[in-house]
Amino acid sequence: MQHHRRVVVTGIGAITPLGLDMERTWEALINGESGVAPITRFDPNLLPVHVACEVKHFDPANFIDPREVRRTDLFEQYALAAARQAIHQANFIITPDIADDVGVVVGSSVGGFHTMLAQYEVLREQGPRRINPFAIPMIMSNGASGMIAIELGARGPSYSPASACATSNDSLGQAFEIIRRGAAIAMIAGGADATVSALGMAGFDRLGALSHDNALPSTSPKPFDKHRDGVVMGEGACVMVLEELEFALRRGANILAEIAGFGQTTDAFHVIAPAEGGTGAAKAIRRAMACANVRPEDIDYINAHGTATPLNDIAETQAVKTALGDYAYKVPMSSTKSMTGHMMGATGALEAAVCIYAIQRGVIPPTRNLVEPDPLCDLDYVPGEARQHRVNVAMNNSFGFGGHNSVLIFKRYDG
């Protein structure tokens, strides 16, 4: 019988529309604050959507050598900032004797989108000789993983998942599997995206995915509400330090939670619509539960994918009912996208961090803007206000375009 190593989380870093670290982000979530505001990064008047969840007051020079700023895309800057925070919280130094056993799995759904757009304009207006020599490293979606590995000296397994909205949940899950099978003793894992741009938002709007509630920005998105009308675009990064349990104990690390289970499936149904009835998502939930060796009634909290799109919220509700049976009506499930917006390739890791904080703090963040529930969305979505609730086991759902379904389960670590 194969022996699987246990995997724990010892550090979390986050750059989000609600704050420039995880602590500030958590406080904003618990207080039900909205990160939605009028767009400042570009003139949105050519678009029907004028609001987004932008990261505010971010200065890359606070995290990166100023000489490197022009050589890095915004998503890479977010990722490195979050990684440095996670390493600092974990009090983890990658020394030469362990460097070969520490890896990086940090994904992005689109990579250096801002650089791609900007450099195309340079090419069109000034010609090829004016292109930034670092344009390709800035654009490639594995740029964040490579940069973090270089900056921190991690020489173990390193790559970058790209599974749309499920990207960083998959990053954490793959890092979990790498440690679990003994291929590394620690991993830096998560995701980053900087997709608030005119082209990105125009594209998502043409899919019918974005909310058009410009007049009252903070009233959207509305996950699970009868009047939901789509996603609000977000951005940012969330990165964690994952360690093999015995290694973490030997070095005296403060353990935040244990990653207990990971499940993945693919719908093979439609590139943007979930499988009917949420069947693929339900299978991913069941696989994560089997991996974690938990029953439905063991789960104390679910962080929902909860995008506020008409199809997704119903499919996710159906998936949870299928996987958990009657217990689905008893477990609290909230969507923090109602406050952060959809952080794309960073969203899964940030919501996984919310699960860990719920375990640590005994509080469940609310679903903001849920006023009139959709009759087809009839579970406990923690509407309006945070709830005091002891959480020993938490589940994080992430479902991405392309039919990617990714589920993680976290447990309280009690030794």
Res 102: pLDDT: 99
Whether residue 57 contacts residue 20, with contact meaning beta carbons closer than 8 Å, is answered with yes
For the stretch 356-412, pLDDT in tens is: 999 999 999 999 999 999 999 999 999 999 999 999 999 999 999 999 999 999 999
Q: Is 165 considered catalytic here?
A: yes
Q: Of 316, 405, 70, 341, whose CA–CA distance to 200 is shortest?
A: 341
For the stretch 100-154, pLDDT in tens is: 999 999 999 999 999 999 999 999 999 999 999 999 999 999 999 999 999 999 9
- Taking the C-alpha atoms of residue 235 and residue 221, their distance in angstroms, rounded to an integer, is 15
For the stretch 293-344, pLDDT in tens is: 999 999 999 999 999 999 999 999 999 999 999 999 999 999 999 999 999 9
Domain boundaries, the chain: 7-250, 262-411
Q: Which is catalytic among the residues 53, 165, 291, 355?
A: 165
Whether residue 308 contacts residue 334, with contact meaning beta carbons closer than 8 Å, is answered with no
The yes/no answer on whether domain 262-411 falls in CATH 3.40.47.10 is: yes
Q: pLDDT at residue 3 above 90?
A: no
Res 1: pLDDT: 46
- Taking the C-alpha atoms of residue 344 and residue 302, their distance in angstroms, rounded to an integer, is 19
For residue 390, how many C-alpha atoms fall within 13 Å in the half-sphere facing its CB? 3
Q: pLDDT at residue 196 above 90?
A: yes
**Rg of the chain over CA atoms, in angstroms?**
20
For the stretch 211-220, pLDDT in tens is: 999 999 999 9
Whether residue 406 contacts residue 284, with contact meaning beta carbons closer than 8 Å, is answered with yes
For residue 312, how many C-alpha atoms fall within 13 Å in the half-sphere facing its CB? 28
Q: pLDDT at residue 38 above 50?
A: yes
| Confidence (pTM) | 0.97
> Average pLDDT in the 229-240 region?
98
Whether residue 63 contacts residue 77, with contact meaning beta carbons closer than 8 Å, is answered with yes
Q: Is 375 exposed, middle or buried (0-12, 13-18, 19+ CB in 10 A)?
A: exposed
Fold matches, 7-250 and 262-411: yes
Q: pLDDT at residue 2 above 80?
A: no
Res 221: pLDDT: 98
Average pLDDT taken over every residue of the chain: 97
Neighbours of 305 (CB within 10 A): 31
CATH of region 7-250: 3.40.47.10
